Structure 1
Amino acid sequence: MKWLSLALVLPGLSEAALRFGCSTVSIQRLDPLVEPGRAPSSHLHQIVGGDAFNVTMTGDISEKATCTTCTFSEDFSNYWTAVMFFKHENGSYKRVPIMQNTALPAPINGGMTVYYTQQDFNSNGNQKITAFKPGFRMTVGSPTTDNLNAAKGHVGLRFVCLQNKGTRFPELPDFPKQPCRGGIMTVHHFPACWDGKNLDSPDHQSHMYATTKEAFQPAGPCPASHPVRMPQLAYETLWDTAQFANMWPKDGSNPFVLSYGDKNGYGTHADYVFGWKGDSLQKAMDSNCMFQACENGRPLKSQGVAAMNKCAARQQVHEDIDGWLTELPGMSSMPMKQKKEVKFQA
């Protein structure tokens, strides 16, 4: 997202905007939102945040975690996305590693950039922002999205072909069609209007409503059905696809695939479980701090990169995810009909 431009509009703001990094806390097939209690889950996830990440997660997560991979040491939330793989012409798969954003302190162990802002990433405002509550959770996007028009409809879910880590345009609804010199960035932009009642919903989305618009335009007002403006949550994940440039298929076809079998990127999606300690996030949203100025107790407690990188969730699914694989993790145990359909609930 366009984090550079926010620095140009700092004067006069009365509400905070957070941008921070989180190291990887786990890479494994668990999904406590969509497939609670199932180990392993259907496809591989890249997870950051608190070490309480588990096969099932209920209640106040901040009371169960002992450490976090995020900059703010009071944030025990978990943030996760599907993993990206490179598919070789010989049919084998290799997990694509993630890279640190240049806006973040080195050397963060992979991970992602997380934002909590107001309207978008080009401007901010002075609305009253209500922080998420203990037990809150949501998803955005759906792995069942299977065509370009539907993908375009998910306005906040985009890919960027990086020339370098500062590239932010153009935003694409599907995978880039050519090698990207600086890698590929995925953007997951969550809805920010809450119904004011439900911490979750059966589809993990109906309790929220998105008024997101294209290309950094301020989000629209919340509707009467979802009247409470919450932080605009978003993830940026940078995938080091450039290391596969010399293996690009001779026919020019896209070689990248998401961990549930999506070779177009139409079904890109992300999950969130709130886990900030006490009222720390609300304090931040009520303050006028911006980015690094929110650290060191002003008003949020923060930690160094060494502590972030040290934190890890317990590995509960033991399988090879780093070698050259004959199938995507989870695909070998899937019925052939389901392999062809590659359909999972969002």
Structure 2
Amino acid sequence: MKSFGLAALALVAPVQAGLRFGCSTLTIQRLDPVVEPGKLPSSHLHHIVGGNAFNATMEGDVGSRGTCTTCEMSEDFSNYWTAVLYFKHSNGSYHRVPVVNNAALAAGTTGGMTIYYTQFDFSKDNVKQRPIKAFPPGFRMTVGKPTASTLDEAKKHVGLRYNCLTTLLNRGAEMPDFPTKKCAAGIFAVHHFPACWDGKNLDSPDHQSHMYNTITRDGFTDAPACPASHPVRMPQVTYETVWDTTKFNSLWTEGSGKQPFVWSFEGSSGYGTHADYMFGWKGDSLQRAMDRDNCFYDGCGTITKQAMSVANKCTVKDMVKEDTNGWVAKMPGM
């Protein structure tokens, strides 16, 4: 299913269930409190949005410690992050690709991501899977695998896809690897997390085994019931990020069958795309939203929105202190 289908569906579907909102960029640093807790700096650069409790080490109730958030939903102090996209010049140098805000986000959103918490992905049939249980304090997970280097490996991570944007509203087909042509409005990256929890573990050694994905097709599609091993239905979390690759279109020539873009972990293809999630909603705010029917975009009638002019004032300190702007001979961590 094309990602663009969601935008159309949001306008016409009789059942609309979930949250969709923007989060401005919080920071771009080499920090990863899920996979490399306490390591300063982490092995590669990440693009991070959300609450200001973000740090090299994060345990316990993140939401209770946050004092501001870059997300439109004012009670969401969670953190969401992915690797950073780089342009690799033919001369061997690198330049970080900037992030631009997605279409239809709140005015003033700066870069960042679009975040979804969907209850049953717009299907009446999945109402029977209610109730939806919100994530508990201390919960975290990842999706994808940076070492994935083949199409077969990529196919195992359903919902991790790319679009070659014609415009911000015309996304075209989803694909498991970077597009091989120049994209008029940039490269669109989607990270769709699993939604079935084992009901016991806030994390697991690989940060994925405590969750299970019943979705067998890409994107926002009907999710079958959770298995006995992971019986608890949770919100389906999705990130969308728009990378402004257009700034580099004059620096390379099509025809080689590959894009000159790489993730910050130096993946030679897009198969290794991955993302991290750290739950941090205040109190029962997410549960209240998930308990409501027929809500979309509006905070489900229970969550207060903040102006993005306020959200954009939320910052964290530079803990790594390395320059990530301009042309560099090597990417941070290489």
TM range (shorter): over 0.9
Secondary structure in 1 aligned to 2:297?
helix
Q: Which structure 1 residue ranges, 5 or more long, are not aligned?
A: 332-346
Q: Which residue of the partner structure matches residue 194 of structure 1? A: 197
Q: CA deviation at 1:118?
A: 2.3
CA contact 2:166–2:183 (8 Å) conserved in 1: yes
> Is 1:274–2:275 an aligned residue pair?
no
- For residues 1-346 of structure 1, the aligned pairs below 5 Å read 1=3, 2-11=6-15, 16-120=17-121, 125-126=126-127, 127-215=130-218, 216-249=220-253, 252=256, 253-288=258-293, 290-294=295-299, 298-331=301-334
One-letter code of the match for 1:314? K
Secondary structure in 1 aligned to 2:312?
helix
Q: Which structure 2 residue ranges, 5 or more long, are not aligned?
A: none
Percent identical among aligned pairs is: 58
CA contact 2:95–2:328 (8 Å) conserved in 1: yes
In structure 1, how many angstroms separate the alpha carbons of the residues matched to 2:10 and 2:124? 6
One-letter code of the match for 2:8? L
In structure 1, how many angstroms separate the alpha carbons of the residues matched to 2:229 and 2:176? 28
CA contact 1:119–1:218 (8 Å) conserved in 2: yes
One-letter code of the match for 1:17? G
Q: CA deviation at 1:82?
A: 0.1
In structure 2, how many angstroms separate the alpha carbons of the residues matched to 1:123 and 1:181? 36
Q: CA deviation at 1:107?
A: 2.2
Secondary structure in 2 aligned to 1:108?
coil
One-letter code of the match for 1:270? A
Length, aligned pairs only: 326
In structure 1, how many angstroms separate the alpha carbons of the residues matched to 2:275 and 2:125? 24
Question: Higher mean Cα deviation, 73-82 or 165-174?
Answer: 165-174
Q: Which residue of the partner structure matches residue 334 of structure 1? A: none
Runs of 4+ aligned residues of structure 1 deviating over 2 Å after TM superposition are 118-127, 249-253, 288-293
**Which deviations, in whole Å up to 9, do the C-alpha atoms of 1:181-231 show, x marking residues without a partner?**
110010000000000111111111000000113244301111000000000
Question: Higher mean Cα deviation, 281-290 or 93-102?
Answer: 281-290
* TM-score, L = length of structure 2: 0.94
CA contact 2:73–2:299 (8 Å) conserved in 1: no
Q: CA deviation at 1:152?
A: 1.9
CA contact 1:52–1:64 (8 Å) conserved in 2: yes
Gap change, CA 1:128 and 1:166, over 3 Å in 2 = same
Gap change, CA 1:22 and 1:121, over 3 Å in 2 = farther
* TM-score, L = length of structure 1: 0.91
Q: CA deviation at 1:313?
A: 1.5
